[in-house]
Chain A
């Protein structure tokens, strides 16, 4: 059985390393500041004992007051998982750091989120629409898209 690590335990580890980076730590997920997302992701991937080498899924959600991007992380070596989240509040031009440098699987998934939700990922090598055509107006998965 894949062991779902508690966000609280991970938060305790991260807090010492990156102060003020954790927004909310719950049993099933860990919400971090967008500015420290890259550092925390690198820490989770490269720290022995955590070794989150496999990024299962990247999902974007529009909560109207903010956009939330959810990273489902798994470690194949230790068979444990963690749900990492980050939010951006700017509706006009939402930006989050890209994690493509760490997990290349994020390449298409971030492009999909950019296409359908309009979140830009800073540092993505090829950020353009993936499901819809270039020139399509708007981002259909936003809640205010009709």
Chain B
């Protein structure tokens, strides 16, 4: 009779499909995970479920008609998409923008950054297990920004507000006082979140040291935005290659040290404070009256050539590569989507961590499927 035998648990890697319809995939996104027990051995992101062929559609539309299409890329930061596209067309066609419109654009873009980061931070905490409480507070503040956007263009999600050569209409009289009120109250709310979350033991335990993206890898995979800066690279297009009138404002570029999920969260919170700082300066310097849109023909026919226009969106470097053949529609319209490229490193960040950490790592890069799939 055999009495004792060494018990060896024979583990075999097996494949689990995570998504495409899963509450924490922030859209329709599938992770094909190879697991060894609970540990992630490998991960392959599978996407394209939301592919609408926007790049092909744009080839059939005039330059102005494309602006609403850009709203549908990153639908949490539509204003930034509008602006990035308009910057690219202005570069391609050599169109100047009136002073007042430049300031309005900066105000709107920074409000959009705050709104988008609120979403990112809120849903990240949701993924960490702080179910629904923080995100509801952050959505409350985001609503205030959406109300401001509603004031300027009547929309709350797909704005279609920017135009080539300016913005579609001047802001109403009540807008600036409302922005001032928001800028005055927002730091208090941020302090409140920070008091509750910054040193929160559960958040620290779950996010600190998890999903590290080293500095060199972050550069090599072309990461941008908070993901790159959390890895310790002070690279912000607003500073490195100032577009619009960003060279006139004073602000800092927050960077992380470790490149973990906690740093990505911290960088976003600090960026909101910097955005408020820019907003204060922009409101102060906003010229009174004047044009908000330069004289641009209804059908823009840029000269034959190409241009790459980019900006620092809430999720990273958003760029548009346009090729013109001299007609009323672009010959080629290519989007450099920041979250699409940030996904390249997702597998590296997840390998070796448990399946429960995968959700946090994924939440920390803050993707938007509308932009990934286009």
Contact = CB atoms under 8 A, between A and B. Distances in A.
Given A55-B222, A56-B336, A57-B308, A76 B235 contact: yes
Contacts of B48: 129-133
Given A57-B336, A59-B332, A131 B241 contact: no
A116 B59 CA distance: 14
Interface residues of A, number: 30
Chain B residues touching A, majority SS: mixed
Nearest to A126: B44
A131 B374 contact: yes
Interface stretch (A7-15, A16-24, A103-111): A103-111
Contact of A108 (B242, B332, B340, B374): B340
A54 interface: yes
Given A56-B317, A109-B341, A133-B48, A76 B332 contact: no
A72 B222 contact: no
B184 interface: no
A79 interface: yes
A56 B222 contact: yes
Interface string A50-87: 00011111011110000000101000100100010000
Contact of A103 (B220, B308, B343): B220
Interface string B65-105: 00000000000000000000000000000000000000000
Contact of B321 (A55, A57, A108, A116): A57
Interface residues of B, number: 34
B222 A141 contact: no
Nearest to A54: B219
Given A59-B334, A76-B219, A116-B55, A105 B321 contact: no
Interface in B256-311: 306, 308, 310
A136 to B, nearest CB: 10
B308 A83 contact: yes
A78 B295 CA distance: 37
Interface string A115-142: 0100000000000011111000000110
Contacts of B248: none
A104 B308 contact: no
Contacts of A79: 240-241
Interface of A: 1-2, 53-57, 59-62, 70, 72, 76, 79, 83, 103-105, 107-109, 116, 129-133, 140-141
Given A54-B222, A108-B341, A131-B48, 16 more contacts: A54-B219, A56-B222, A56-B319, A56-B336, A57-B321, A59-B336, A76-B219, A83-B308, A104-B222, A105-B221, A105-B341, A108-B340, A131-B373, A132-B48, A141-B55, A141-B56
Interface of B: 47-48, 51, 53, 55-56, 217, 219-222, 233, 235, 240-242, 306, 308, 310, 317, 319, 321, 323, 331-332, 334, 336, 340-341, 343-345, 373-374
